[in-house]
Amino acid sequence: MIMIEFSLNGKEPKRENTASSFEKVPKDFTEGDLKIENIEIQETEEDIVFQMKFRGGGDKTSELVNKFYQEKQNEIKQSLGTEEFGIILDGDAQKLVAQIILPKNASEEKKQTEEKKQTAIKILEEFKQELLSNLKSS
């Protein structure tokens, strides 16, 4: 898994490749009650970016993130044709960002693109429900 910490104030991102990067999530990202924002979709010329920002939830958050990533990485690669799936640490906002990036494929039919968009949203919604249900029960 690739963990990227970025800063909205223009600082160079830090990159760290580890198999389980969320053993090192700073406590300030997981302290307090779980807060999850709506899924955002941004389109560029080359990509469609799906993001779900969240923070809090306590110590169990890192465990849930790792588990969900391990379970979904192959599904995302096969069903969406992308390996661009991960969690970003937004250092300025002190939030975690679950992100899927779909490359735009000019040869793909509009219907296929719409199906992939719906699948990406469904996966992030599943993650949201996983976080909500597991963190409420603890």
Return the pLDDT at 136.
64
What is the SS3 assignment for 19-85? CCHHHHCCHHHHCCCCEECCCEEEECCCEEEEEEEEECCCCHHHHHHHHHHHHHHHHHHHHHCCCCE
Q: Mean pLDDT, consecutive 10-residue segments, the chain of 138 residues?
A: 47 41 67 93 92 90 83 87 84 87 84 92 94 73
Give the span between the Cα atoms of 134 and 138, in whole angstroms.
7
This prediction's pTM:
0.78
Return the pLDDT at 25.
67
Determine the Cα angle at 137 with ends 60 and 96, to 5°: 35
Return the pLDDT at 127.
93
What is the Rg, in whole angstroms, of the alpha carbon atoms belonging to the chain?
15
Give the span between the Cα atoms of 112 and 39, in whole angstroms.
20
